[in-house]
Amino acid sequence: MKALVTTDSPDCALRLDAVAEPEPLPTQALVAVSAVAVNRGELTAIGELPPGARLGRDVAGTVLRAAADGSGPAAGTRVVGLADGDGWAERVAIDTRRLARLPDTVDWAAAAALPVAGLTALYSLQRAGRLLGRTVLITGAGGGVGRAAVQLASAAGAHVIAWVGSADREHGLAELGADVVAVYGTDPEEPVDILLDSCGGDVLTQAFRPVVAGGSVVAFGNTAGAELRLPRDWGRARPGVSLHYVFLIDEIARHDVAHDLAFLLQLVVEERLDPQVALVASWTDPEPVLRGLGGRSVNGKAVLAL
């Protein structure tokens, strides 16, 4: 079968190459892939991995062969799932505990955009605690996780402040439920109860300042690639602030991923959550997706269709 693999190109390119067929474990279903999503973390990894390496976690497709242990969806079922980092392929084996049935009303691209972004946003907000009536500041709000978090926080009754890196990244956030949309460093007019940060570095330092005593700070990314820095007086000025870090791969072991994916899909069906697919390209030519994500010109999720 074919899969997208890394190359030795300095441009961090991908190529289609022949790879071995997956050999599912008893707890895994074999899925014929229809669409995959590309995340910024994977984009970074492309340039760090040796030639021939495989990537990919967001997968939407159809079960070709059900899991041998009898768990999970039957053959012929449309599904969305979280792969083990080998999802950019024609076929992939996925543990049934990370597969959810895909309603007919949700298309392949929207489904593929959901797992990494939706689950990261969901688990970050759950870690933050109560949302109803509280003010939530979300940095990196123009990306896939940020846009999902804006919608989920708004739906839960929070007052949402969306921070982005430039005016170009503000597009559509107010329509998704953000009460305030501003560029990094803009002082909020109200105290912040919860901070969700994907940036690290100076942005995290700036965003921490309006957090109230007893508030919650959840870091779910570090796009700056810098140390996570808090203001020097963070403990004295804001006693009782709880600090958390959410890394999706760690969270998988602590959550019922299949249930949570089904929950997110139901919100999509009810039009309460938009997966925010901004770009769809063919997997035979992934360059538009790689270029768009690398240049931060994609406000939302980028998907490759097989």
What pTM was computed for the model? 0.95
pLDDT value, residue 235? 63
Amino acid letter at 207?
A
pLDDT band at 245 (very low <50, low <70, confident <90, very high): very high
**What percent of the chain shows pLDDT beyond 70?**
98
Q: What does the pLDDT look like over 55-81, one tens digit per residue?
A: 999 999 999 999 999 999 999 999 999
DSSP letter for 10, please.
T
Q: What is the mean pLDDT of the chain?
A: 93
Q: What are phi and psi of 265, to 5 degrees?
A: -60, -40
pLDDT band at 237 (very low <50, low <70, confident <90, very high): low
DSSP letter for 150, please.
H
Q: What does the pLDDT look like over 179-227, one tens digit per residue?
A: 999 999 899 989 999 999 999 888 998 999 999 999 999 999 887 777 7
pLDDT value, residue 236? 64
* Mean pLDDT value of segment 235-249: 83
How far is the C-alpha of 178 from the C-alpha of 160, rounded, in Å?
5
Angle between helices 144-155 and 115-128 (to 10 degrees): 50
* Mean pLDDT value of segment 113-128: 97
How far is the C-alpha of 202 from the C-alpha of 120, rounded, in Å?
22
pLDDT value, residue 23? 97
Tokens of 86: 């080998």
Cβ atoms of 122 and 43 closer than 8 Å: no
Q: What does the pLDDT look like over 77-102, one tens digit per residue?
A: 999 999 999 999 999 999 999 999 99
Q: Kindly tell me if the per-residue pLDDT of 258 is higher than 90.
A: yes
Q: How far is CA 263 from the centre of its chain?
A: 15
How far is the C-alpha of 152 from the C-alpha of 196, rounded, in Å?
12
